[in-house]
């Protein structure tokens, strides 16, 4: 058990430390680091989106013929992958969903049924909500500007 004199010395040392503690500087550093962390998280999310887009588009842009399903011989791409491929082929120009739907049907990538057409509309809306495509106006989409600047081939 410390003596009263030892307790007083410990108490005085603690008070001195508390008085000299740079509380405002520490709070500022924490705020700066939290802002930096948010920026890093946003940068990571952006890079992940780019990597996802690259993965989805790489197989489409490396194929020789635009008339064959590009997920592999005899395979049909997902609606997401098909939309991204057609938008990549449009080279940054806005594309009407109706025209992309007709192209997908012509390529054998989509059935001409109300259910398939609705699923395509849902896929386009979802891609726009996720930022993977831009909705120019109702029924018109294009690749986001950050992807139009990339060489996707």
Per the document, the length of the chain is 153
CATH number at residue 120: 1.10.10
Structural tokens at position 27: 């709070």
DSSP 146: H
Q: How many domains does the chain have?
A: 1
pTM: predicted TM-score of the whole model, two decimal places = 0.50
Instruction: Please name the residues in contact with 93: beta carbons below 8 A apart, sequence gap of 6 or more.
Output: 142
Can you give the residue range of the structural domain that contains 63? 39-148
For residue 23, tell me if it sits in a domain. Answer: no
Give domain status of residue 46, yes or no: yes
- pLDDT tens digits, 129-151: 998 899 999 999 999 876 544 44
60 half-sphere exposure, CB direction, 13 A CA radius: 20
Nearest in space to 145 (alpha carbons), one of 94, 72, 76, 77:
94
pLDDT digits (tens, 9 = 90+) for 41-79: 888 877 877 777 776 666 555 543 444 444 444 578 899
26 is a domain residue: no
């Amino acid at each position: 058990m410390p003596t009263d004199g030892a307790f007083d010395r410990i108490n005085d040392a603690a008070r001195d430390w508390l008085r000299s503690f740079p509380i405002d500087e520490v709070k500022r550093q924490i705020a700066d680091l939290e802002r930096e962390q948010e920026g890093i998280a946003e940068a990571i999310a952006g890079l992940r989106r780019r990597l996802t887009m690259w993965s989805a588009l790489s197989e489409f842009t490396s194929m020789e013929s635009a008339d064959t399903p590009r997920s592999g011989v005899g395979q049909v791409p997902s609606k997401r992958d098909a939309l991204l491929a057609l938008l990549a082929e449009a080279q940054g120009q806005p594309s009407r969903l109706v025209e992309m739907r007709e192209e997908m049907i012509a390529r054998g990538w989509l059935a001409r049924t109300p259910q398939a057409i609705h699923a395509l509309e849902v896929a386009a809306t979802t891609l726009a909500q996720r930022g993977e495509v831009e909705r120019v106006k109702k029924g018109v989409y294009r690749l986001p500007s950050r992807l139009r600047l990339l060489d996707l081939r």
